[in-house]
């Protein structure tokens, strides 16, 4: 693994240059909050952002995605036949994504791309994306990512990890995909050799590794929120499911979709046909286990009739069922969005600890 | 004369004293009503897990009463948490919560005799997106005094609906935990001009500007329905957006569907909305959803002199016909 040092003076020109071979996505401020979206020509990712309000999962799993289009007009050619919606899976780079948000893509991948099922929309969108991640030097008070097998400097799910260091970005090159983007941006030499020949780019010596390690340790030490889930795995599903604390935990919960929609790892979706006149689309929409509609049967019966049962479902899925099924930790990267945004202060950190340590 | 002092610091001390007094009284009342078995449960607020957050909570043992607190972050409307309850519940209620309890009683969602209302004279709620420590206010001294008099919390820090509050003290209550706070005396003209200023601005826009204003405003809506779910008025067994046979509204992010949701929800609140601000406090995208309900509040006020939840003895205007109703549209 190599590290190069990119002078911030040449950063935006390089980003712009990479457009020749990539579509670019990055954090931009829209009214009060940052969001990830495709960057217009000349538009730069805001590398000083704190966190995006909604997670960047939408770049491969949008809130509404058209899968098919159809025409009900019998005069039309191929009427009543579903046609593939047009898609652009040309190479793209997401710049500035936080390491834990990139890690969330690995979790989503377990669901959308496994030996039983491959969701082509997800797989294609994920595969065409290069992750140019930005380490978090100053985690906020909601961040508990270090408890969730990731962290502010986690490089396990990224192609390049950028570390903001004074007037430069230190770029840890994790994959060939990442190197290819750096080449396209002109941050390396033309043939991909990293020899520091390009203006403003120099090969970093050994001390750079130490600098990154130090910044990483500093950042991690700022994270005060911790959760434990080791005992949840040992407990039986029914013991936690029937625990006495759920109604109390869920009392304040409004059963809105704030947590599920802001969450980088919530993957549930619903398929809907929408017709306008004689033309229609079949789309995939985010769904939320907080809503009664999520489980209501065609008979009208709802196995999760009560509000508190739906709140319980969300935490059981993230912290218990997921652990049991995949044996890869919990379905949470500790980004803290749900904690920050919940109108009723439903705090997954407390609930996780209660499930772990409670009766 | 301009005073370069940090008014928020002065106010913070004053507010802390009030909060402490209120908190003690609320705990005392909760203990009493539970021990005397006047109620089965008490619904109030407890501290949240982070500074400046609170969480609605339910207690059923006097020994848990010390969990209850009061401060300027009790933004949600607790009337939302009593609807449909069959047991006897005490509820901690500020002015707007009490007006929604009146609504609930009028709309037969709860029985008055099943409620014990612990009335809280309200000094207003601080806007959720403000950071008190960072907010420094330089104010003209006389305006400052006026503000302090009426609002121990600086007016600039309050959430929008609290700035134009018409009822800070509970309308109905079984006990008050403190002396009533001073209510602002509004004239009808002042209300129409000042209280509905946000609506007036939109009414003054050209039609096309208004349309793009709403489209822009709603473009960040994720349809999480936090606004609906935080609203005490929204208690339909199945909301029209959740109806699937037939499905009235699309489930995606098409702006037509987003608008349909917001407009219809607002119409459904006409003559019922107390402008408590829970919808805006709940919105994770900070969308000013009150603008819609406020417009309907204005219509009700202008045409029927109506303000929701102020009395148990009057039916809401959309619920009743009066000979002198302003009904030019059908004459």
Interval A119-175: pLDDT, tens: 999 999 999 999 999 999 999 999 999 999 999 999 999 999 999 999 999 999 999
State the pLDDT at residue B137: 41
Q: Which is more confidently placed, A204 or A69?
A: A69
Whether B41 contacts B60, CB under 8 Å: yes
Question: Smallest CA–CA separation between A345 and chain B, in Å?
Answer: 6
Question: Smallest CA–CA separation between B221 and chain A, in Å?
Answer: 11
The number of C-beta contacts closer than 8 angstroms across A and B is 99
State the pLDDT at residue B116: 98
Averaged pLDDT score across all residues of chain A? 93
Which B residues in the span 260-289 are in contact with A, Cβ-Cβ below 8 Å?
281-286
What SS3 class is residue B310? coil
Rounded distance between C-alpha atoms, residue A121 and residue A126, angstroms: 8
Residues of A in contact with B223 (CB under 8 A): 257
Residues of B in contact with A302 (CB under 8 A): none
What is the 3 state secondary structure string of A217-250? Answer: HHHHHCCCCCCCCHHHHHCCHHHHHCCCCHHHHH
Which residue does chain A place closest to B129, by CA atoms?
A32
Residue A278 near chain B (CB below 8 Å):
no
Decide: residue A206, CB within 10 A, 0-12 exposed, 13-18 middle, 19+ buried: exposed
* DSSP 8-state symbol, A6: E
State the pLDDT at residue B234: 96
pLDDT > 70 in chain B, percent? 89
Residue B52 near chain A (CB below 8 Å):
no
Is pLDDT above 90 for A33? Answer: yes
State the pLDDT at residue A342: 97
Question: Smallest CA–CA separation between B161 and chain A, in Å?
Answer: 17
State the pLDDT at residue A292: 92
Is pLDDT above 50 for A274? Answer: yes
State the pLDDT at residue B140: 39
For chain B, the structural domain boundaries read 2-176, 188-330
Is pLDDT above 80 for A203? Answer: no
Which A residues in the span 23-42 are in contact with B, Cβ-Cβ below 8 Å?
30-33
Kindly determine whether residue B226 and residue A292, on different chains, have CB atoms separated by under 8 Å: no
> In this complex, which of A63, A141, A270 lies closest to B222 when CB atoms are compared?
A63
Backbone angles phi, psi at A4, to 5 degrees: -120, 160
C-alpha B310 chain-centroid distance? 14
Predicted confidence band at A70 (pLDDT cuts at 50, 70, 90)? very high
Whether B17 contacts B154, CB under 8 Å: no
- Radius of gyration for the alpha carbons in chain B, expressed in angstroms and rounded: 20
Residues of B in contact with A63 (CB under 8 A): 222, 252-253
Whether A288 contacts A294, CB under 8 Å: yes
Kindly determine whether residue B53 and residue A31, on different chains, have CB atoms separated by under 8 Å: no
What SS3 class is residue A64? strand
Q: Which two tokens stand for residue B212?
A: 């793009």
Whether B293 contacts B256, CB under 8 Å: no
Q: What is the pTM of this model?
A: 0.92
**How many other β-carbons are positioned within 10 Å of the β-carbon of residue A47?**
17
State the pLDDT at residue A119: 98
Kindly determine whether residue A344 and residue B55, on different chains, have CB atoms separated by under 8 Å: yes
Q: Which residues in chain B land under pLDDT 70?
A: 1-12, 131-152, 327, 329-331
Residues of A in contact with B250 (CB under 8 A): 272, 274
Residue A196 near chain B (CB below 8 Å):
no
Q: Which is more confidently placed, B15 or A200?
A: B15
Residue B230 near chain A (CB below 8 Å):
yes
Tell me which residue of B68, B256, B214, B289 sits closest to A343, measured CA to CA.
B289
Q: Which long-range contacts (CB under 8 A, 24 or more apart) does B314-317 make?
A: B315/B106, B316/B106, B316/B271, B316/B272, B317/B271
Whether B254 contacts A274, CB under 8 Å: yes
Residues of B in contact with A343 (CB under 8 A): 76, 226, 230, 281-284
Kindly determine whether residue B251 and residue A345, on different chains, have CB atoms separated by under 8 Å: no
Half-sphere exposure of A135 (CA within 13 A, CB side): 26
Which residue does chain A place closest to B228, by CA atoms?
A256
State the pLDDT at residue A242: 96
ipTM above 0.90, yes or no: yes
Q: What is the end-to-end Cα distance of chain B in Å, rounded?
A: 57
Residues of A in contact with B54 (CB under 8 A): 345
State the pLDDT at residue A159: 98
Residue B64 near chain A (CB below 8 Å):
no
Longest Cα–Cα distance of chain B, Å, equals 66
Whether A92 contacts A26, CB under 8 Å: no
CA distances for B205 relative to A349, B210, B211, B214, angstroms: 46, 6, 9, 11
Tens digits of per-residue pLDDT, A104-116? Answer: 999 999 999 999 9
Kindly determine whether residue B222 and residue A291, on different chains, have CB atoms separated by under 8 Å: no
Kindly determine whether residue B285 and residue A53, on different chains, have CB atoms separated by under 8 Å: yes
Kindly determine whether residue B55 and residue A345, on different chains, have CB atoms separated by under 8 Å: yes
State the pLDDT at residue A206: 56
State the pLDDT at residue B143: 47
Least confident of A58-72, A137-151, A302-316, B155-169: B155-169
Rounded distance between C-alpha atoms, residue A39 and residue A46, angstroms: 11
Question: Smallest CA–CA separation between B219 and chain A, in Å?
Answer: 10
Rounded distance between C-alpha atoms, residue B243 and residue B261, angstroms: 12
Kindly determine whether residue A344 and residue B220, on different chains, have CB atoms separated by under 8 Å: no
Tens digits of per-residue pLDDT, B295-313? Answer: 999 999 999 999 999 999 9
Give the residues across from B139 on adjacent strands: B3
Q: Which long-range contacts (CB under 8 A, 24 or more apart) does A178-185 make?
A: A178/A130, A178/A131, A178/A132, A180/A130, A181/A18, A181/A22, A181/A93, A181/A130, A181/A132, A182/A4, A184/A17, A184/A18, A184/A20, A184/A21, A184/A22, A185/A14, A185/A15, A185/A17, A185/A18
Kindly determine whether residue A64 and residue B49, on different chains, have CB atoms separated by under 8 Å: no
């Amino acid at each position: 693994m190599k590290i190069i040092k990119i002078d911030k003076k040449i950063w935006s020109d390089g980003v712009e240059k990479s457009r020749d071979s990539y579509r670019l996505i990055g954090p931009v401020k829209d009214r009060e909050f940052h969001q990830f979206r495709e960057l217009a020509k000349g538009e730069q990712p805001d590398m000083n952002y704190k966190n995006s309000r909604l997670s960047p999962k939408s770049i491969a799993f949008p809130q509404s995605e058209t899968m098919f289009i159809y025409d009900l007009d019998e005069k039309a050619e191929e009427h009543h036949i579903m046609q593939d919606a047009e898609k652009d899976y040309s190479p793209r780079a997401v710049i500035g994504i936080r390491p834990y948000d990139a890690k969330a893509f690995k979790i989503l991948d377990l669901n959308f791309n496994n030996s039983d099922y491959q969701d082509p929309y997800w797989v294609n969108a994920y595969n065409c994306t290069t992750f140019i991640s930005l380490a978090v030097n100053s985690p906020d008070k909601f961040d508990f990512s270090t408890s969730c097998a990731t962290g502010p400097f986690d490089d396990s799910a990224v192609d390049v990890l950028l570390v903001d260091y004074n007037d430069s970005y230190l770029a840890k090159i994790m994959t060939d995909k990442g190197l290819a983007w750096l080449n396209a941006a002109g941050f390396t030499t033309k043939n991909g050799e990293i020899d520091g020949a390009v203006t403003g780019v120099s090969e970093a010596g050994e001390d750079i590794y130490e600098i990154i390690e130090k910044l990483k340790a500093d950042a991690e030490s700022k994270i005060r929120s911790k959760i434990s889930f080791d005992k949840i795995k040992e407990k039986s599903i029914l013991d936690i499911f029937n625990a006495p604390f759920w109604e109390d935990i869920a009392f304040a919960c409004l059963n809105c979709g704030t947590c599920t929609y802001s969450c980088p790892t919530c993957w549930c979706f619903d398929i809907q046909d929408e017709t306008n006149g004689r033309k229609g689309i079949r789309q995939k929409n985010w769904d939320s286990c907080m809503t009664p509609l999520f489980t209501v049967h065609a008979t009208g019966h709802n196995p999760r009739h009560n509000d508190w049962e739906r709140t319980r479902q969300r935490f059981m899925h993230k912290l218990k069922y997921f652990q049991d099924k995949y044996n890869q930790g919990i379905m949470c990267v500790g980004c803290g969005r749900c904690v920050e945004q919940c109108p009723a202060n439903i705090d997954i950190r407390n609930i996780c600890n209660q499930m772990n340590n409670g009766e | 004369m301009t005073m370069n002092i940090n008014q928020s610091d002065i106010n913070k001390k004053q507010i802390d004293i009030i909060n402490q007094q209120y908190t003690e009284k609320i705990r005392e009342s909760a203990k009493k009503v539970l021990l005397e078995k006047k109620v089965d449960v008490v619904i109030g607020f407890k501290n949240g897990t982070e500074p400046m957050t609170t969480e609605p909570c339910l207690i059923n043992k006097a020994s848990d009463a010390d969990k209850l607190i009061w401060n300027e972050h009790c933004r949600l409307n607790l009337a939302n948490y009593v609807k449909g309850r069959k047991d006897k519940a005490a509820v901690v209620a500020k002015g707007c919560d009490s007006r929604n309890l009146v609504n609930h009683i009028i709309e037969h969602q709860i029985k008055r005799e099943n409620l014990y209302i612990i009335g809280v004279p309200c000094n207003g709620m601080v806007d959720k997106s403000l950071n008190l420590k960072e907010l420094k206010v330089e104010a003209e001294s006389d305006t400052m005094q006026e503000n302090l008099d009426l609002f121990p919390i600086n007016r600039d820090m309050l959430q929008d609906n609290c700035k134009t509050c018409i009822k800070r003290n509970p309308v109905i209550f079984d006990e008050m935990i403190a002396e009533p706070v001073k209510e602002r005396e509004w004239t009808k003209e002042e209300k129409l001009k000042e209280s509905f200023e946000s609506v007036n601005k939109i009414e003054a826009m050209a039609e096309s500007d208004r349309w793009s204003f709403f489209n822009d405003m709603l473009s960040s809506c994720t349809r999480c329905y936090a606004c609906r779910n935080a609203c005490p008025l929204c208690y339909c067994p199945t909301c029209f957006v959740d109806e699937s046979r037939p499905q009235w509204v699309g489930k995606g992010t098409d702006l037509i569907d987003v608008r349909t949701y917001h407009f219809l929800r607002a119409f459904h609140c006409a003559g019922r909305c107390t402008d408590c601000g829970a919808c805006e406090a709940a919105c994770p995208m900070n969308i000013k959803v009150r603008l819609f309900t406020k417009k309907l509040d204005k219509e009700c006020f202008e045409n029927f002199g109506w303000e929701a939840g102020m009395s148990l003895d009057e039916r809401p205007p959309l619920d009743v016909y009066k000979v002198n109703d302003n009904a030019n549209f059908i004459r």
